Amino acid sequence: DSGVTQTPKHLITATGQRVTLRCSPRSGDLSVYWYQQSLDQGLQFLIQYYNGEERAKGNILERFSAQQFPDLHSELNLSSLELGDSALYFCASSVDVLPSDEQFFGPGTRLTVL
């Protein structure tokens, strides 16, 4: 158990809908990262937050947004969902903001868009 929690574990929804994925980082970690893992693709970095502020952006679509709250939990919002958004979404946390910081991954949320 990494100490990172994600809810829900599974989510099934329809095209055009909007969903919110939630992540609580390890106690004491200030950075939160969101990743997408689609079939036959590697981990795609979406976005990073550090202590409530957006720190780095990756291949995140405009239909997706995220935020990190004062208690350091984070939410990833996915809207106008398409079939291709079906994927495993991971949240990870690290103690600080350095790229050399080890990342601790949550169990992931499996999103299925029908």
Partner 1 sequence: ILNVEQSPQSLHVQEGDSTNFTCSFPSSNFYALHWYRWETAKSPEALFVMTLNGDEKKKGRISATLNTKEGYSYLYIKGSQPEDSATYLCAFCGGNNRKLIWGLGTSLAVNP
Q: Give one word for 97, left, alpha or beta, with left for phi > 0 and alpha for psi -120 to 50.
A: alpha
Among positions 9, 10, 62, 100, the unique one binding partner 1 when judged by CB under 8 A: 100
Phi, psi angles (nearest 5°) of residue 100: -85, 0
Q: Could you tell me the sign of the dihedral formed by the alpha carbons of 29, 54, 52, 44, in that order?
A: negative
C-beta of 27 vs 41, nearer to partner 1: 41
Work out whether 49 is an interface residue with partner 1 (CB under 8 A): no
CB 47 within 8 A of CB 56: yes
Q: Between 70 and 100, whose beta carbon lies closer to partner 1?
A: 100
Residue 5 interacts with partner 1 (CB under 8 A)? no
Contact stretch for partner 1 (CB under 8 A) within 15-23, 66-74, 76-84, 98-106? 98-106
Stretch that binds partner 1, among 11-19, 23-31, 77-85, 101-109 (CB under 8 A): 101-109
- Of the residues 42, 62, 70, 71, which one makes contact with partner 1 according to CB under 8 A: 42
Spatial separation of the C-alpha atoms in residues 14 and 18, rounded to whole Å: 9
Which residue, 11, 10, 4, 25, is CA-closest to 69? 25
Contact residues toward partner 1 (CB under 8 A) are 2, 41-45, 48, 56, 58, 90, 92, 99-108
